[in-house]
Amino acid sequence: MVQYIRNQAQVIEKLLKMFPAIAVLGARQTGKTTLAKQIQPDWHYFDLEQPQDYDLISQDPTLFFKRYPDKVIIDEAQNFPQLFQVLRGIIDANRGEKGRFILTGSSSPELSKHLSESLAGRIAIVELGTLKANEYYKKPLSYFYQLFANKIAPTTIFDYEPQFSNQQIQHIWLKGGYPEPTLSHDELFYEQWMNNYYLNYISRDIAKLFPKLNKIKYQRFIKMLGHLSGTILNKSDLARALEINEGTVREYLHIAEGTFLWRELQSYGNSGVKSIIKMPRGYIRDSGLLHYLLQIKTQEDLYHHPIVGHSFESYVIEELIKGLQAAMVSNWKIDYFRTRKGAEIDAILTGYFGVLPIEIKHSSSVSLKKLRSLSDFIEQNHLPLGIVISFTEKITWLSDKIVQIPVGML
């Protein structure tokens, strides 16, 4: 197995010094177990998908924690929700002791709810996505994310070379970031892995969590989400196409998002514009999985597919989110902006650093004339800076408040 370092390793190590427990959440096969074992290789490890470990913990969890009061990794914790209530008492009995437990969890929309209700203030939650570009290419996290340590202004943009070439970014954008298939560099294995991952997601994870769910219709729903990735979903149209009601569509979206397959961006509502579209926009989170669903195998296939623009936007947004998480930027959110008159901005980051509107273009150069929405938004909201992320080779100032940044800098 190829070894690699995850950005979140340092995050978890820091949080273990602050909290009694850490929960590492994410989609299946993103490397949660590998990461936990790499960080604490000498800790006791239990997997709640293994019958022996499940029985050991579930039959008498209080007795289990008396035997193992600390230095414990519990994998797939969502399989035994009662664990969280017991763990609360164990932690409270010695509240001052930090770094006692690591829990991992995947494929459960209810898991975060259980954690927040039972272990609020006692546990830090870390999300682990698929590989970020710097993890795949074994480079440190980009200096770009230092931008968010202070208030953003034109003077905070510093000029340096991108970490990755456009060719390198195009490769990981096409293939996505699931560690096992992408790091194998074996095309046949990659195709077989993605196929089995998708089938197991439906037949195993979803069937186990939601036994009454119509698997055939949900499978069709996920395929349709692939075609609609990056767009504003019309739930009534989706319901008619699948011959289900809107309530079922909302349930399916809740499941897809809760299992870390789908992400929704909310509409930015602080601009004061009355004609703003308020419906959320969503996308398949891993670009490799999206391309698998759409039968896109090569760069040529991708560039000739109608999804190319939306796919690149989604890839960049996920890279930004992973980078902000790795840099431990707190109390931020990401939205999109669109009006009924057609004005649109792909992403708007808001946090202690201010408000940063971002346009994402899969071309190598962008003219200021095509950035009218961005320019107007900056002016109307009295912002100091806007960013364009593209396949440009170097940082370029398009105006005194708009800077174009290579995607290889993310």
Task: Look at residue 63 and tell me if it is in a domain.
Answer: yes
Q: How many CB atoms within 10 Å of residue 239?
A: 17
* 272 in the same domain as 384: yes
Residue 61, domain extent: 8-127
Q: Are residues 147 and 260 in the same domain?
A: yes
**Residue 2: which pLDDT band, with cuts at 50, 70 and 90?**
very low
Residues 151 and 70 in one domain: no
Going from the C-alpha of 297 to that of each of 221, 285, 293, 305, 363, the distances in angstroms are: 22, 18, 10, 11, 20
Judge whether residue 100 has pLDDT over 80.
Answer: yes
CATH of the domain at 80: 3.40.50.300
Domains contained in the chain, number:
2
Distance between alpha carbon 136 and the CA centroid of its chain, in Å?
16
Residue 40 has pLDDT above 60, yes or no: yes
The predicted pLDDT at position 1 comes to: 39
Q: Do 193 and 281 fall into the same domain?
A: yes
- Based on the fold, state whether residues 147 and 18 are members of the same structural domain: no
Note whether 311 and 352 are same-domain residues.
yes
pTM of the model: 0.95
Is residue 62 one of the residues assigned to a domain?
A: yes
Q: Is residue 3 part of a domain?
A: no
Residues 81 and 79: their CA atoms lie apart, in Å, by 6
- pLDDT for residue 4 is more than 80: no
Do residue 255 and residue 149 come from a single domain?
yes
What is d(CA 84, CA 241) in angstroms, rounded to the nearest whole number? 40
How many C-beta atoms lie closer than 10 Å to residue 116's C-beta? 13
Q: Are residues 109 and 162 in the same domain?
A: no
Do 214 and 285 lie in one domain? The reply is yes
Which residue intervals of 201-307 are DSSP H helices? Answer: 207-209, 215-228, 235-242, 246-258, 287-293, 299-303
Report pLDDT for 272.
Answer: 64
Q: Based on the fold, state whether residues 316 and 170 are members of the same structural domain.
A: yes
pLDDT tens-digit profile of 115-166? Answer: 877 888 899 999 999 999 999 999 999 999 999 999 999 988 888 889 999 9
DSSP bridge pairs for 347? 358
Rounded to whole angstroms, the Cα distance separating 289 from 178 reads 9
Question: Of 75, 99, 127, which residue is a domain's last?
Answer: 127
Do both 176 and 318 map to the same domain?
A: yes
The alpha carbon dihedral of 219, 221, 225, 227 has a sign of positive
Here the tokens at position 200 are 């197991």
- Which residues have C-beta within 8 Å of that of residue 157, sequence separation ≥ 6? 147, 385, 395, 403
